[in-house]
Amino acid sequence: MTITQQIITIGLCVIGTMITRFLPFIVFKADKPTPEYIQYLGKALPAAIFGMLVIYCLKDVSVFSGSHGLPEAIAIAVVIALHLWKRKMLFSIAGGTLVYMILVQFLF
């Protein structure tokens, strides 16, 4: 690829991304009331999105080969346990990640 082609490629990634981020705000303008159905989706969607993002992060984990997703399962259990215990976001994230790193580097 030439430099120009590279710039076009990156530019298209930027434009595509911005379309997906701006489109809802352009379609449903702030000065007009948002349709009730969209308002409902706005309230009901986030919970589903968070579930989707968790699975998205785990999409390349193979349950049938390698370590069978055990390090992920253990580390997620640690995150949940730490979070239920202290409710400190950074503490739960750091603790779980540390456990995961130890697991994949030394045990699995």
Partner 1 sequence: MNVKGFSFVYPMLMSLTIFGGSLEFVTVSMLLSSFAPLQTFILTLMIQARHLFYGISMLEKYKNTGWKKIYLIFGMCDESFSINYSTDVPEDVDKGWFMFWVTFLNHMYWFTGSTIGGLVGSLFTFNTEGLSFVMTAMFVVIFLDQWLKEKQHISSLIGVFASLICLMIFGSDNFMIPTMICIIVTLSLLRKPIGDKEDSV
Which residue ranges make up the site for partner 1 (CB under 8 A)? 1, 5-6, 8-10, 12-25, 28, 30, 34, 37-60, 71-72, 75-76, 79-80, 83-84, 89, 92-93, 96-97, 100-101, 103-105
Question: Cβ closer to partner 1: 28 or 70?
Answer: 28
Q: Report the nearest approach of partner 1 to the CB of residue 73 (Å).
A: 11
Return the residue matching tokens 């030439």: 2
User: How far is the C-alpha of 23 from the C-alpha of 12, rounded, in Å?
Assistant: 16
Q: Report the nearest approach of partner 1 to the CB of residue 51 (Å).
A: 3
Question: Cβ closer to partner 1: 38 or 68?
Answer: 38
User: How far is the C-alpha of 107 from the C-alpha of 29, rounded, in Å?
Assistant: 53
Provide CB contacts within 8 A for 71, sequence distance 6+. 100, 103, 104, 107, 108
